[in-house]
Structure 1
Amino acid sequence: MRPTHSPLRTDEQERNRPEPTYGGYLAVDGLLRLQRPRSVPEHPDELHFIVTHQAMELWFKVVIHELGRVRAELGRAEWTRAVARLGRINAILAAQTAQLGTLGHLDPQAFLEFRGFLGTASGFQSVQFRVIEVLSGLRDSGYLNVLRAAHGGSLPAEIVEALATPGLAEIAGGAADWRAVYSRPDAQGALFLLGEALLDYDRLWAGWRHEHLVLVERIIGYDTRGTGGASARYLQGRLSSRFFPFLWEVRHRLATEHGA
């Protein structure tokens, strides 16, 4: 019986394989066809709105991929590699926050002119964003109940899959006695740098949440509900979220021990 799979390429086939072009390798033609404004007549600012959110979803995909690698490196006690990987993720988050800020140049009246065409579509429904939060360690029952309500009473499969593995906070929390690490940073240099990189990750997400809040307030005000039903008031309540409270707590403990 003949195998149904394709045979492996021979060396000659590889040599004769056409070199990829920039557009072909990146599938640019298909990518540029994915922006489909719904406003009629088409509003000139809707393209910016769509591209910004699509680009964010692409970066979310990269962050999810890199978080998987960081979690694996921490599991193998590869502290230096994990620090370098977190540096890459943190650079992405900084760029994403700046990208989010570009929507602040969309004036309120312009947004309202095409807002109705969005229906109930909302960033609140971004599954990848929620996967990142779950992979990072946000897993309390109240948060998960909000996600269930937003998705018709059950969690999307991607979130369920993320919940089946330890979160970054759980892995990092068990990686060291963080009080000891911060008491003598030179004695455990790699772990100290890891703690600082994790703290930067938390800080950058706090900055992202704040930028998002200010953006919403700037465009639709504080109490107006967005297309997904949430308002800036809800976003305000999430500003204090932290993935690694144990790293923030160690600062308090050290300060208290020094009589501060």
Structure 2
Amino acid sequence: MHSIQSPPATDDPARAGRDSPSYDGYLAIDGLLRLQRPLSVPEHPDELHFIVTHQAIELWFKVVVHELARFKADLGRAAWTRAVAGLGRINAILAAQTAQLGTLGHLDPKAFLEFRSFLGTASGFQSVQFRVIEVLSGLRDPDYLDGLRAAHGGSLPARVLEALAEPGLAEIAGEAADWGAVYAAPDDHGALFLLGEALLEYDRLWLAWRHEHLVLVERIIGQDTRGTGGASARYLQGRLSLRFFPFLWDVRHRLTMKGGA
């Protein structure tokens, strides 16, 4: 049996630090904790929660963008098992994000109003990463893109343009299988059936995210009040029916009709 050898000792502190990073150093904790900069004067005690929640969501968006690239690559080479596992990881992240968003519902309306003016026109509608995820997922409707251009001074952000230059997830997934056949005989298609269910869950989780966002806005500023970005809850209500993979929802309708309903 071979014994596990310890790495040779070194007298170089810099090298030792690289070989064995500390928790704080590896995660850059000091810098991370300096990124929360409340603007309210005097500082409102609830503004820190507001900032941290949005920063955490943006960090998770970064992971989702990264994981979607891997997932699309797995779909492209028909690595169905890896694709199902990867999308399961993405779906777990989306569920966690929705829970994080829900924590803002514990911020009462009066408290938010006490620091809202300090936000200016800053709004979640300006999140480029969120738009990249939507475009990567397959949302490319001309009206949607026109709205994005208007929100960003007449042109699309560079990262959105990069996402538009490659096939969307909806396009790739739609061509991955004959989904009618897969759902008509799921036991014959194994991993493809599981993939279809994972894609449908991805859609469902975004529906839950949008609903949670809508309820949060209504709970804090009401249905008709415009947010800092100029949109009201009515706009969010109009997005509740959005589906990235309508073909997966439609196959259920076709199966039901074929069954004589």
Output the TM-score relative to the length of structure 2.
Answer: 0.94
For residue 162 of structure 2, what is the amino acid of its counterpart? E
In the other structure, the counterpart of 1:37 is 38
The SS at the match of 1:96 is: helix
In the other structure, the counterpart of 1:73 is 74
Q: How far apart are the structure 2 equivalents of 1:70 and 1:255?
A: 30
The yes-or-no answer on 1:49 pairing with 2:50 is: yes
Q: How far apart are the structure 1 equivalents of 2:208 and 2:182?
A: 26
The yes-or-no answer on 1:17 pairing with 2:10 is: no
The yes-or-no answer on 1:229 pairing with 2:230 is: yes
In the other structure, the counterpart of 1:105 is 106
Alpha-carbon deviations, 1:217-248, whole Å to 9, x = none?
00000000000001000000000000000000
In the other structure, the counterpart of 2:3 is none
The SS at the match of 2:231 is: coil
Alpha-carbon deviations, 1:25-75, whole Å to 9, x = none?
000000000000000000000000000000000000000000000000000
For residue 243 of structure 1, what is the amino acid of its counterpart? F
Q: CA deviation at 1:154?
A: 0.3
Q: How far apart are the structure 2 equivalents of 1:144 and 1:64?
A: 19
Q: How far apart are the structure 1 equivalents of 2:240 and 2:155?
A: 25
Instruction: Within 5 Å, give how 1:134-149 maps onto structure 2.
Output: 134-149=135-150
Alpha-carbon deviations, 1:164-188, whole Å to 9, x = none?
0001110000000000000000000
For residue 259 of structure 1, what is the amino acid of its counterpart? G
Q: CA deviation at 1:16?
A: 4.1
Q: How far apart are the structure 2 equivalents of 1:136 and 1:166?
A: 9
In the other structure, the counterpart of 1:63 is 64
Q: How far apart are the structure 1 equivalents of 2:84 and 2:131?
A: 23
Q: CA deviation at 1:259?
A: 1.2
Aligned length: 249
Q: How far apart are the structure 2 equivalents of 1:258 and 1:153?
A: 49
Q: Any unmatched runs of 5+ in structure 1? A: 1-11
In the other structure, the counterpart of 2:27 is 26
The SS at the match of 2:187 is: coil
For residue 17 of structure 1, what is the amino acid of its counterpart? A
For residue 175 of structure 2, what is the amino acid of its counterpart? G
Q: Any unmatched runs of 5+ in structure 2? A: 1-9
For residue 76 of structure 1, what is the amino acid of its counterpart? R
Q: How far apart are the structure 2 equivalents of 1:252 and 1:78?
A: 28
How large is the RMSD of aligned CA atoms in angstroms?
1.3
Runs of 4+ aligned residues of structure 1 deviating over 6 Å after TM superposition are none
The SS at the match of 2:242 is: coil
Alpha-carbon deviations, 1:141-197, whole Å to 9, x = none?
011011001000000000000000001110000000000000000000110000000
Instruction: Within 5 Å, give how 1:188-207 maps onto structure 2.
Output: 188-207=189-208
Q: How far apart are the structure 2 equivalents of 1:144 and 1:240?
A: 18
Output the TM-score relative to the length of structure 1.
Answer: 0.94
Q: How far apart are the structure 1 equivalents of 2:176 and 2:89?
A: 21
In the other structure, the counterpart of 1:254 is 255
In the other structure, the counterpart of 2:183 is 182
Q: How far apart are the structure 1 equivalents of 2:44 and 2:160?
A: 34
Q: How far apart are the structure 2 equivalents of 1:166 and 1:77?
A: 16
Q: How far apart are the structure 2 equivalents of 1:146 and 1:16?
A: 51
Q: CA deviation at 1:17?
A: 3.4
The SS at the match of 2:188 is: coil
